[in-house]
Structure 1
Amino acid sequence: MPTVSIITAAYAPSAEFLPETIASVAAQKMPAGWDIEWVVQEDGAEPFLAEMFAGVSNVSYAANGRQLGIAGTRNLALERASGGLLRVLDSDDLLLPNALESLIPHFLGGSTQWAVGQADDLMTDGSRVSWDPLIPTGPVPAGAVNNYAIEHGGNWPIHCAGLMLRTDMVRALGGWAGTPNDEDIILFSALSEICDGYNDPSVTWLYRQHAGQVTRTASWRAQSAVGRHIALQRVNAVRTLGLISTGTPPVDVAGGERLRVDQPVKDHDSTEYL
């Protein structure tokens, strides 16, 4: 039976919303003949979350036994994934019941290597805020999302926390980058440069907004400029070396000019949403 592996890097001090995440996975509707495998990898020197997954169907749980960070934790989960497709799921976000069912058909035939559904922001009062897609929905040719990022100061139009990907392609590109943050964007920048994707118009998941988000901290935002610059460097390297022809030239960085990276817009700064 074809399988989708959901990959979650969990961390006990940040597991406040995990019960809701577990319930959202249990509510998934799957196409006939498809199965779910949920690969949970707990980070930290003192594992604490195993009991939360006791009795949960189709869960494969393991603990690092030491602090590795999100990239290393996701890569250890990737080693245990058996599905031909994988879906990233952060431990504080929620899948809507159609999350997997909506995206799987895009991988059946054709050249699609990644797909993403739209997300509503989930506020602390339980309300939802929707956002228009930043790029047109439908097929996305290789290189298109990176052209957007180059033009918009290293801000990508696809939210990596909502991606479904072919597992073999993620492995071929080395998994998530071993950086303190933006490990997902760095992976996606390379993958989307050489592979076609699909931007599905359906709202398939909820991106939880809360004060405890790591992406809201000053230290994360300071490091994000470096992470997103690494992602742009990867795109430029693929184009410079001619690893695949997408009709898009490399960025001119003669004389060691730094690629432009603006402030991140991944999360909304306004406290009115919290």
Structure 2
Amino acid sequence: MPLLSVLTAVHGDRAEVLAAAGESVAAQVLPPSWELEWVVQEDGERPRLGEVAQASYAANGAQLGVAVTRNLALARVHGELVRVLDSDDVLLPGALARAIGAFSVHPEIRWVVGRPRMADAVYFQLLPEGVHARGAIGAYVKEHRRSPIHCAGLTARTAIIRAVGGWCANPRAEDIELVAAISELAPGYVDATPSWLYRSHEGQTVRQPGWRALHAESYLMIHQRLAAARALGLRMGTN
């Protein structure tokens, strides 16, 4: 039976929000024959969430950062599709079924990005719903120095994420660099229907002092990666 894996990296102080994230995963209704697994990887020296995470759980035993933690979780994923879910977010009803449906209707795509619902609004997505050709994300990032979609809503073929090395060692934009990299190799689909609730709070990484530092360097890394991929003519084969 086909399997979709939901992947969550988490800090040890996120027990309450992690439980809510797990409840939202368990509440998903998938198309007939599909199965679901939740893979949780805890970052930090002292594991605390083993009893909270009703999932395939493992701990780093060291503070390694979000990109490495996601990649360690990715190594334990069994699904042919993987959906990233931040520990402080929750999936909305139908989120996973819509992503699976997009892959079914458009067999040429290798990634789907959903739209978040903010606490009091809907995130303004800068690409329209539908299939987007390879290179579309990178072209926008290169011109505007920002992502046209929210990369925390990514569902992708597991193989293509592994092929580019997973989440990147980028200090401020590891998820944007990943989505830009896989979109250089293959087309994807943008879903305009909100698929997860983005929960804003003071503990978020993006709200911490100094977060804006290294922003320019982070986007320079993305631009260099995209330029190299295009210069080499990298793309996914048709088989």
Give the TM interval when normalised to the shorter protein: over 0.9
Contact 2:186 2:235 in 1 (8 A): no
Judged with a 3 Å threshold, the aligned counterparts in structure 2 of structure 1 residues 13 and 225 are, in CA distance, closer, same or farther, namely farther
In the alignment, what sits opposite 1:265?
none
Alignment of 1:59-98 (within 5 A): 59-98=55-94
Q: Which of 1 and 2 has greater Rg?
A: 1
Judged with a 3 Å threshold, the aligned counterparts in structure 2 of structure 1 residues 244 and 170 are, in CA distance, closer, same or farther, namely closer
In the alignment, what sits opposite 2:143?
151
Query: What is the deviation of 1:210?
Result: 1.2
Query: What is the deviation of 1:117?
Result: 1.5
Q: 1:131 aligns with which of 123, 127, 149?
A: 123
Query: What is the deviation of 1:134?
Result: 0.7
Counterpart-to-counterpart distance in 2, 1:181 and 1:131: 20
User: Over residues 176-201 of structure 1, what are the superposed CA-to-partner deviations in whole Å (9 max), with x where a residue is unaligned?
Assistant: 11233311111111111121000012
Q: Are 1:167 and 2:164 an aligned pair?
A: no
User: Over residues 199-228 of structure 1, what are the superposed CA-to-partner deviations in whole Å (9 max), with x where a residue is unaligned?
Assistant: 012111111111221112232221232222
Contact 1:116 1:164 in 2 (8 A): yes
Unaligned runs of 5+ in 2: none
Counterpart-to-counterpart distance in 2, 1:144 and 1:179: 21
Unaligned runs of 5+ in 1: 123-127, 246-274
RMSD of the TM alignment (CA)?
1.5
Judged with a 3 Å threshold, the aligned counterparts in structure 2 of structure 1 residues 50 and 244 are, in CA distance, closer, same or farther, namely closer
Contact 1:7 1:87 in 2 (8 A): yes
What is the aligned length?
235
Counterpart-to-counterpart distance in 2, 1:115 and 1:37: 18
User: Over residues 15-38 of structure 1, what are the superposed CA-to-partner deviations in whole Å (9 max), with x where a residue is unaligned?
Assistant: 442222121111111111101110
AA of the residue aligned to 1:98: G
Counterpart-to-counterpart distance in 2, 1:146 and 1:66: 33
Tell me, what secondary structure is at the counterpart of 1:117? strand
Tell me, what secondary structure is at the counterpart of 1:231? helix
Query: What is the deviation of 1:149?
Result: 1.4
TM-score under structure 2 length normalisation? 0.93
Query: What is the deviation of 1:68?
Result: 0.9
Counterpart-to-counterpart distance in 2, 1:19 and 1:206: 14
Judged with a 3 Å threshold, the aligned counterparts in structure 2 of structure 1 residues 13 and 180 are, in CA distance, closer, same or farther, namely farther
Tell me, what secondary structure is at the counterpart of 2:160? helix
User: Over residues 32-86 of structure 1, what are the superposed CA-to-partner deviations in whole Å (9 max), with x where a residue is unaligned?
Assistant: 1101110100111100001112xx3xx2001111111111111110110000000
Task: After the TM superposition, list the runs of 4 or more consecutive aligned residues in structure 1 that deviate by more than 4 angstroms.
Answer: none
